[in-house]
Chain A
Amino acid sequence: MKSSAGLHLKTYTLIFFMVIFGPMGDVLLSKGMKRVGAISSFTPANLARLFSTVFSNGMIWLGIASLLAFFIAYTLVLSWADYSFVQPASSIAYGIVALLGYFVLGEVVTPTRWIGVLIICLGVFIVGHTPPRTTEHR
């Protein structure tokens, strides 16, 4: 029989990796895309041009590497924990993204947006107190 504490430790360790690598990847992608410039046209020819510009940007590749690390942690944790637990539990990453946007990228974050992010985190806190698996173990 598997210990519940062990299952929780394994789950939260991987969620920790997710909340570090996910936001870092988003911030790196944002920095990279700001260098590329706003996408104003979605015609196939323009998108093809953009494709080569985007993927010759080092910052984008760093972002992809970070998101790949996130994806590995996410994939592993989904092999035992419920999707509807993992996804909300990892949503603290949304708060970390806002903090990184503000402190690292110097973005203007309005008070309403901060309150919104805090409410998202409160939602996460509540979700974190529900059991990680509700379906039958194979």
Chain B
Amino acid sequence: MDKLKRVPIKEQDPSVRVNNFDEVCLGYTLDEAKEEASRCIQCKNPRCVEGCPVSINIPGFINEIVKGDIEEAFNVISKYSALPAICGRVCPQETQCEERCIRGIKGEAVAIGKLERFVADWARENNIAPKPPKEKNGIKVAVIGSGPAGLTCAKDLAELGYDVTVFEALHEPGGVLVYGIPEFRLPKEEVVKPEIENLRALGVKIETNVIIGKSVTIDELMEEEGFEAVFIGSGAGLPNFMGIPGENANGVFSANEYLTRSNLMKAFDSNYDTPIITGKKVAVVGGGNVAMDAARTALRLGADVTIVYRRSEKELPARVEEVHHAKEEGIHFMFLTNPKEILVDENGWVKGMRCVKMELGEEDQSGRRRPVEVENSDFIIEVDTVIMSLGTRPNPLISSTTHGLETNRRGCIIVDEETGQTSREGVFAGGDAVTGSATVIQAMGAGKKAAKAIHEYLLAKKR
């Protein structure tokens, strides 16, 4: 066996998977996992751990796989992460843990994410769940939002004995994990639901259909319902539009709407009532993970899909694996192109998009070269559906209804980075609500830090 190379992982064939919503990556078998695990050289100062926002003891759990004790491997991971089956699937590993892996210097990094996923899937299939705490302290803590930040914070607090209630605005807990990331990357029934059930097993209560700021305010939770601390993990769900002519035409959607219809409301399944417009020729504007997800969803619904991105392929912010999968599935890419206008027919439906060519100019603050328009380079592409995937902002609902909660110019909640403490006593925050759109594992990391800080705050308060 060539130790420089990864054990390959099975995937659904692209020509088959474009016709279904089943998961693309099929995961390792026990033997394959053991073989891949044996590539880890068990570094004394493991650099991989530094790359993981929740500092999972990576050599520790990998060593258990080598020994064949998968249950113990799961126990090791569970000390750090509440959602390993999810992170193993959606973490941008190649820029986090795996980027630092020593194996990556000469050959391919150890497939840490895929191994993590294997362990979590094995534990679920063998009904192994984290154990509830021995003692409850009866102190009530509210967690707002059930995305990765909220779920992680809730788990850690429940394990410390707190009486935790998660409030979720939508009818299903999970945040972006259920409404944004598609089924074919992250199965809902098989993967997300069980991880949320594990939380319930720890004693966490989840109240859906409660919109904090509307159904009840943070002030009321603290003053009337007896919650002694609050964690805000409300995400960054507000979609941006471009502000170009024709953007309100029928057939123009935000990626959030398109993905929510398909994922949360299961419009792709004809047993569910929510409709979705599939389109024959779809343009997706943007180049992030969200754009890839929207494009691959539209493809599976039967459309011919083109991603329109204003910079070049090198600058694509999406994960390499997602871009690779998208290409394999037959998504077209139009780089250095920016929409100027959406053309509308007499009934109000999209009939095309006028675009302009771009070229890369000087570097901006982010170190990326700024795209500038090429004069007189307008051209028209024929499409009947346009999906705008231009990033999102935090929703102002909570900040505008909570006294003394400070936000910055972009509407993000201002916190102390180490603790998640906001400008309001007893109120902590983390995840996309603080950073703007980031990643699942960063949101989890913030939830973890805040849980620790809430515990310390409440201990000090009780003294």
B is a partner of A: no
By a beta-carbon cutoff of 8 Å, the part of chain A in contact with chain B is: none
